[in-house]
A and B are shown apart, each in its own frame.
Chain A
């Protein structure tokens, strides 16, 4: 299982701010596959990848980053602090 954290608009679309996911449901254990999965389950996310960054265990990671059991993944929409 991985722990997926969702924030702001993404949490609103998905309807929760975190959930656990079995890596087995993904085509491959990567960030890109996780996003493909999320787009399929939550069509409102379709086409929004260009706005999203991803974190793994509190660091930004690229789309081809590999996922492992126990990872904490953040779906990070455009930040707007300050």
Chain B
């Protein structure tokens, strides 16, 4: 299951989607909004998504990382306004053995940060800034 939406992320539901009798390992990654960026205090984050392409890229990244192995993946990335402590993304991965699950989960979040068209604007007390845009 792959989803890019404004709705709150239900990690338990994603876990249930990858849970199965063959899986001896389930690895879950939650990306959470933190209260600082470097030395700057963050009040909240505004996420924006190219919804159609983000969904397509999530699927492509998962398929490439799984690479035909017995690994199941569910991902939900949220966008819109997110408060400190909110979950921005959950990646749930299951596999027969732990190594594959850890490796796939870590690989997916790394690739997601490089390739999936989602942006965040940090809004703090001293103004706001889109992440990654040079001076």
Contacts and interface: CB of A to CB of B under 8 A. Distances in A.
A50 B133 CA distance: 10
B123 interface: no
Contact of B117 (A48, A50, A74, A82): A74
Contacts of A21: none
Contacts of B120: 80-81
A74 B53 contact: yes
B52 A7 contact: no
A66 interface: no
Contact of A81 (B52, B56, B112): B112
B77 interface: yes
A82 B109 contact: yes
A7 B121 CA distance: 11
Contacts of A60: 115
A51 B133 contact: yes
A58 interface: yes
Given A51-B133, A58-B52, A74-B50, A80 B119 contact: yes
Contacts of B118: 79-82
A82 B31 CA distance: 6
B4 to A, nearest CB: 9
B68 to A, nearest CB: 22
Given A5-B50, A7-B50, A58-B53, A79 B116 contact: yes
